[in-house]
Chain A
Amino acid sequence: MKPLLEIRNLHATVDGTEILRGLDLTVNAGEVHAIMGPNGSGKSTLAHVLAGREDYEVTDGEVLYRGRDLLDMEPEDRAREGVFLAFQYPVEIPGVNNAYLLKAALNAVRTARGEPEIDAIDFLKLVRSKMSLMQMDQSFLNRGVNEGFSGGEKKRNEILQMSVLEPELCLLDETDSGLDIDALKVVAGGVNSLRTPDRAIVMVTHYQRLLDYIEPDAVHVLSRGRIVRSGDKNLALELEERGYDWLREAANA
């Protein structure tokens, strides 16, 4: 099988400090990978580097997405090619209608795929069906992007966008943080509905809890900018029990 995402020896710095130090990861279509690790291990940096955030400087290594050099692409082009990042802290854009942003995003993706722009009626139909899946009130559509949303509402909104845009590579950055258990179930349901054989999901998380609801095919532990251990879902349970310290020591050794 041809991998969807191949990361080789990735090094990245922020403000001159090296955060990723030779990271390797291969993700195939149809798989769900969980990236776990202590605070500061580089989990979020990885997600942002893949999405193209420009204050992260890649100093070495390569990332192939569907065989193409991902690092060479502008953030918007990555998005149009099917890379989606569900943010840990989705930003508020006051005055910009939620529906408007989503429609602009969808049309950007559709145009890149060579499809015609969606008309307003089909768009509403599509969004409404996805919203009911996410148990979101219709009034969200007419509110400003994330404006005055609670933490949980913001996370739901991210997954709503993801399910409307139907990306090939879904990157979830601490999507479970700040969610109560009911919201977590809804969000997990949304993510699970996107599990298809031609799509991959990479989720960055601090806690094992999320994995109770979204069962991963692989679990990786990130420490000091490198994957120090990979395994199946049982690895996450082991981490839950033992914490990260024993792995950190292993990495230092």
Chain B
Amino acid sequence: MATKSTDVETLVKSKYRHGFYTDIEADTVPPGLSEEVIAMISAKKDEPEWMLEWRLQAYRHWLKMREPDWAHVQHPPIDFQAISYFSAPKSDADRPKSLDEVDPKLLETYDKLGIPLHERARLAGVAVDAVFDSVSVTTTFKEKLSEAGVIFCSFSEAIQEHPELVRRYLGSVVPRRDNFFAALNSAVFTDGSFVYVPKGVRCPMELSTYFRINAANTGQFERTLIVAEEGSHVSYLEGCTAPMRDENQLHAAVVELVAMKDAEIKYSTVQNWYPGDENGKGGIYNFVTKRGDCRGDDSKISWTQVETGSAITWKYPSCVLRGDRSVGEFYSVAVTNNLQQADTGTKMIHIGKDTSSTIVSKGISAGRAQQAYRGLVRVMPGAQKARNYTQCDSLLIGKECGAHTFPYVEVKNPSAQVEHEATTSKIGEDQLFYCRQRGISEEDAVNLIVNGFCKEVFKELPMEFAVEAQALLNVSLEGAVG
């Protein structure tokens, strides 16, 4: 069926709905990167000497590294000296102690995004550590968490209040020299979240952080570290949207997860940064390193992500299955529309015995977008009876988009069992017509089909997040039929 291309184009051209930005005076370091700038960032944050030293070592190593070029994405060279590496709300000196003290404009921004912070926090029992640009502005539910012994705070605060924990675990999963962008992040990260769940504690609530990129031309370098001690359990939600921008914005976050014996970490992401306009102008460059270390036996780390935003995404949430019988999971929905590019997937490194991993990746491409799944399953010689199941499905909407699959499998232990299934399908013209013949509009039909395609991943998301993710998908694919 030739769905009328004019209709399709109109629908595809629907604008980014979260395109606005808040007018808050930002305290921004001038563009450019040098040891002085790093020292300035560190000083602004009143950091201890060891932290500055750690950053500088990362920086010195970064200078010797080359930007990776293997990803299936294209973009003009990034001028790292044109980026401003620090931006904090002006009111940094007198930080709000509670929501009442928070800049009303900021709260307004959250409202526009449909994130009524206080309401959401109270009703849903979610503690929210809202990161606005680089500095955490507000943290709620601290008391309830501290009763349980859970530490949930901004990274800056953790450096001040829990330096021994930060020193012990920072860089222990993603070393400073891991890759170009991780090294850059290590040198200049400004803030992020820190979670520590003590032995045997089940975190009493889902922990949630909403990220937002705001000040113009400011690189975002978040750092997140989650440590789950023996027998503990934590579920962490990360969600983000960004205002409309002309300049490309670089985002290079690092997330490190550590799960000790019998511990479980569930990390869920909904990512909706500005993807650029229909001509590919603007949009976020999202070059992220996320890795979880199943350090103890019988531990489990589960990544679930719904990626609809960013102009370019380069992201491989991974699990290092070190402990025996440890479990790694990766559930992903990635949507690219217009000129978005995504090279995303996961790595599962089996080291311990009887380790198992599951990968379910759903890629949806529309418009002229290009998307690649890149996955590595590596079974080390000692990983007796390791098991992996990979399912990798691509859905194409229209004729001008592309899907590519790069699955790498390296098995060094003959007892391993590795399964890989992959499909690529076009959103069926038959399916669309069938739905329309039942009275369902074309747009609703696309949503219906896409949501059905992603169902296996959505069911892994916490309930309220799943609803949000579904809505987000619908917005991202508005009318992307062809």
- The interface of chain A, by Cβ under 8 A from chain B, is 51-55, 74-76, 78-80, 84-85, 87, 90-91, 93-97, 100-102, 104-105, 108-109, 112, 144-145, 161, 165
Contact = CB atoms under 8 A, between A and B. Distances in A.
A162 to B, nearest CB: 10
B452 A144 contact: yes
Interface residues of B, number: 27
Contacts of A79: 436-439
B438 A96 contact: no
A51 B454 CA distance: 29
B448 A75 contact: no
A108 B440 contact: yes
Interface in B436-456: 436-442, 444, 448-449, 451-456
B333 to A, nearest CB: 12
B440 A53 contact: no
B442 A76 contact: yes
Contacts of B448: 93, 96, 100-101, 104
B91 interface: no
A74 B439 CA distance: 10
Contacts of A78: 437
B4 A54 contact: yes
Contacts of B434: 87, 90-91, 93
Nearest to B449: A93
Contact of A104 (B430, B440, B456): B440
A94 B453 contact: yes
Contacts of B123: none
Q: Which of A51, A74, A90, A104 has the most CB of B within 10 A?
A: A104
Contacts of A96: 448-449, 451-452
A95 B453 contact: yes
B433 interface: yes
Contact of B438 (A53, A112, A144, A165): A165
Contacts of A165: 438-439
B41 to A, nearest CB: 46
Contacts of B451: 95-96
A141 to B, nearest CB: 15
B417 interface: no
B421 to A, nearest CB: 14
Q: 6 closest Cβ contacts across the A-B interface? A: A95-B452, A96-B452, A108-B439, A105-B438, A79-B439, A95-B455
Interface in B19-40: none
B435 interface: yes
B164 to A, nearest CB: 47
Nearest to B4: A54
B381 interface: no
Given A95-B455, A101-B448, A76 B2 contact: no
Interface string B116-157: 000000000000000000000000000000000000000000
A35 to B, nearest CB: 18
A112 B1 contact: no
B1 to A, nearest CB: 5
Nearest to A81: B439
A93 B2 contact: no
B431 A91 contact: yes
Contacts of B282: none
Interface string B94-111: 000000000000000000
B437 A51 contact: yes
B453 to A, nearest CB: 6
